[in-house]
Amino acid sequence: MARRNDHSREQIQQMAITAAIGILNEEGPGQLSTRKVASAIGYTVGTLYLVFRNLDELLLHVNAATLDELHSAIRSALANQHTPVEQLKAIAFSYLEFARHQYARWSLLYSHQLQNGEQAPAWFNDKVNALFGLVEIPLKTVKPDMSHKDLVCATRVLWSGVHGACELALNNKLRLGDEVSADVLIHSMIDNYLAGLACEQVTA
């Protein structure tokens, strides 16, 4: 077993996050524990608690790493897209693709709740807002005169719709009569939402 001075605090933190992601991918969120993470990196649970206050904080950092990867994947998907429709569909399908291949990590983003009413720190919220920011840019192009409040609302509405389609599809809840794929739903949702947004009266 490694000694405490074999690695810096930052190194142990990154090792723990990487180990937690591995356990999450292999066994699912329900099997993730500080004991398993500590064992995977060759340190004691006590040492792990010198780096993270509790399992909650470790999961917060795991989710932060997931947000970073999702942001990077979406940025790559946007590289050669030029129109707002192309850009929004690239974001949506990149999001769906990430969820399909990283389902355990994707679902942890939404299932993990901080205990005792604790709020997520500003640095974590910044990562969430950076993702929303990728959606805001093409939406603002569609309707340049939107107020900031309306833009934020439109972004959340569209993101919620895409997320809902992904959630239903990945949990096999779209089998109502003839099956409708998430891809078809997303195409239709974005096309119709943008058409409606372009005609919508701007609110004060």
Q: What is the pLDDT at residue 175?
A: 63
Contact 141, 84 (CB under 8 A): yes
Q: What is the pLDDT at residue 132?
A: 95
Q: What is the pLDDT at residue 180?
A: 66
Contact 14, 61 (CB under 8 A): no
Per-residue pLDDT of the chain (204 residues; tens, 9 = 90+): 445 558 888 899 999 999 999 999 998 888 889 999 999 999 999 999 999 999 999 999 999 999 999 999 999 999 989 999 999 999 999 999 999 999 999 999 988 888 877 888 999 999 999 999 999 999 999 999 999 999 999 999 999 999 998 888 888 776 655 566 788 889 999 999 998 887 765 443
CA distance 192 to 172: 24
Domains and CATH numbers, the chain: 1-52 (1.10.10.60), 67-199 (1.10.357.10)
Q: What is the pLDDT at residue 128?
A: 95
Burial of 74 (0-12, 13-18, 19+ CB in 10 A): buried
Residue partners of 173: CB distance under 8 A and separation at least 6: 167
